Structures are given as structure tokens and as C-alpha cells.
């Protein structure tokens, strides 16, 4: 459902930033996502006792998470409560994580004899470092939002309630009014340019700068600077 929703918004110029969050009407408690329903996680025809079936199942799930990560607009994870298992992995493919102080992140899969295979072993170690990721993965321990903030995973931290809602709105609004082409190139350069040798990443940055220089938002920014006015970025090339 998340992928379908994002695909419908990807080419919509009126959508310039997306916030992913849990709904208390569904979870009945403070929660971003506590992960998958293990009983319902196997697709039709997939048999959990056949290795090739399970490998294919995870291949399919990886495609969904990859599509979310590759969404070409700013994606914010607004976490208020638990972000466990697949929910934690979902926050991993977002660009910015905003969390309440009562939130927790974790991978409890190990106590069920499995491990987070929706990209969790790969993405978390790249975000918080090998030792910290191994601790979370090996022991299934939950980490507080404060700790994840100190580790650089959580971008912004707030108390639950109005402070959190105001912060989410503020950051989403800022990104929603920012120059869209520059944001898209920043996202691509940071998320994927850092996965290749530095020289290749720098070439990506150079090419992105060239593409961005022809955008209408660049001209708006220059004119606003020269006339000492606030820029009004409309998005697009």
C-alpha cells in the first residue's frame, strides 16, 4: 500500500514532501510500526520450509523497500511509539526520522529465530555503525529515541503531542517549499553516491549540479538574492 501510494505521488507536482506515520486508530497505541504479522508474512504459495521459496519472498520484499527508498521526493518518518522489525526497516528507507522521546527502535526478530531481512542488516550498519548495529541485531534490544538521536539516526526529537506535531509540520512544510530539483539531486547523491567509490560519487555530484543549474528554481533563487526578496520555489526544471 505504501509503494502504491508513493507511485501515485511521484509524478504529481503538487506533492513535494511525504510523511509516513502510524495511526493510533489502527494500532490502538503509540506506534509507528511494530513490524509484520509473522503468520501473514508468507505470500500465497510460499512455503516457509523451502529455502528457495523464502529467498524469493525476500527478493520480492526487497523490491518494495527499494522503491520506497528511491522515491524521488523528501520522505519523512514521523515515529511516535514503537518502530520494531519491519517498521524499523521502513524508517531506514526514509530520508529524515522525526521521533518522540517515548519512541523506541529495535529488531526483535532474533527471539523468533529469524533476523531483519528487509534490508535491516545492511542499512542499519551503514547508518549507525557496525558495532551498534550488531548489538541491536544480535540481542534484539530496543533502543530509545534519545539514544538513536545521539547515534545520528533520529534527525529531530520532540515530546509527544503538540510539540511533535508542530515539528513534523514545520520540517515537512520547509521541504515542501524548497527547490525540488536540488532536493532530488541531494537525495540521490547522498543515498547512492556514498555507496560507490568517492570519484564516482563526485562525478554524480558534478552531473547533478549541471542538471540543477538549468532549473527554474535556480533562477528564482538568484533573482530573489539580487532583489532581496524571499524566493518562491515552484519546483520543476
**Matching residue, cell 529469524:** 114
User: Could you tell me the pLDDT band of residue 237, with boundaries at 50, 70 and 90?
Assistant: low
Q: 81-121, pLDDT tens digit by residue?
A: 999 999 999 999 999 999 999 999 999 999 999 999 999 99
Taking Cα atoms as reference points, which of 146, 78, 145, 134 lies closest to residue 107? 134
Q: Is the pTM of this model over 0.85?
A: yes
The phi and psi torsions of 149 (rounded to 5 degrees) equal: -70, -45
As a CATH number, domain 2-176 is 3.90.226.10
Whether the Cβ atoms of residue 143 and residue 105 lie closer than 8 Å to each other: yes
Residue 137's Cβ-side half-sphere holds a number of Cα atoms within 13 Å equal to 20
With cut-offs at 50, 70 and 90, classify the pLDDT of residue 38: very low
Q: Give the Å distances, CA to CA, from 141 to 97, 122, 153, 191.
A: 20, 18, 16, 27
Distances (CA, A) of 27 to 35, 65, 99, 224, 230: 11, 22, 17, 46, 42
Nearest to 92 by CA among 148, 159, 9, 27: 148
How many other C-beta atoms are found inside a 10 Å radius of the C-beta of residue 117?
Answer: 17
pLDDT for 235 equals: 82
| pLDDT recorded at residue 39 | 46
Domain ranges of the chain: 2-176, 180-227
**16-25, 36-45, 46-55, 96-105, range with the lowest pLDDT:** 36-45
Place of cell 524571499: 230
Confidence of residue 40 (pLDDT cuts 50, 70, 90): low
pLDDT tens digits for 131-180?
999 999 999 999 999 999 999 999 999 999 999 999 999 999 999 999 99
Strand partners, 97: 77
Amino acid at each position: 500500500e505504501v509503494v502504491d501510494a508513493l507511485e501515485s505521488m511521484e509524478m504529481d507536482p503538487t506533492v513535494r514532501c511525504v510523511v509516513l506515520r502510524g495511526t493510533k486508530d489502527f494500532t490502538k497505541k503509540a506506534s509507528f510500526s511494530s513490524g509484520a504479522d509473522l503468520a501473514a508474512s508468507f505470500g500465497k504459495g510460499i512455503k516457509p520450509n523451502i529455502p528457495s521459496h523464502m529467498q524469493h519472498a525476500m527478493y520480492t520484499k526487497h523490491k518494495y523497500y527499494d522503491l520506497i527508498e528511491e522515491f524521488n521526493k523528501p520522505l519523512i518518518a514521523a515515529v511516535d511509539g514503537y518502530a520494531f522489525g519491519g517498521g524499523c526497516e521502513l524508517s531506514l528507507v526514509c530520508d529524515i526520522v522525526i521521533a518522540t522521546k517515548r519512541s523506541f527502535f529495535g529488531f526483535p526478530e532474533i527471539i523468533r529465530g529469524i533476523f531483519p531481512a528487509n534490508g535491516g542488516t545492511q542499512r542499519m550498519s551503514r547508518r549507525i555503525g557496525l558495532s551498534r548495529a550488531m548489538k541491536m541485531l544480535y540481542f534484539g534490544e530496543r533502543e530509545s529515541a534519545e539514544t538513536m538521536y545521539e547515534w545520528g539516526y533520529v534527525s529531530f526529537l520532540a515530546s509527544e503531542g503538540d510539540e511533535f506535531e508542530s515539528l513534523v509540520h514545520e520540517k515537512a512544510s520547509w521541504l515542501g517549499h524548497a527547490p525540488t530539483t536540488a532536493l532530488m539531486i541531494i537525495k540521490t547523491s547522498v543515498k547512492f553516491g556514498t555507496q560507490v567509490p568517492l570519484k564516482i560519487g563526485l562525478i554524480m555530484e558534478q552531473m547533478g549540479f549541471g542538471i540543477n543549474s538549468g532549473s527554474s528554481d535556480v533562477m528564482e533563487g538568484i533573482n530573489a538574492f539580487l532583489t532581496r526578496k524571499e524566493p518562491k520555489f515552484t519546483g520543476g526544471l
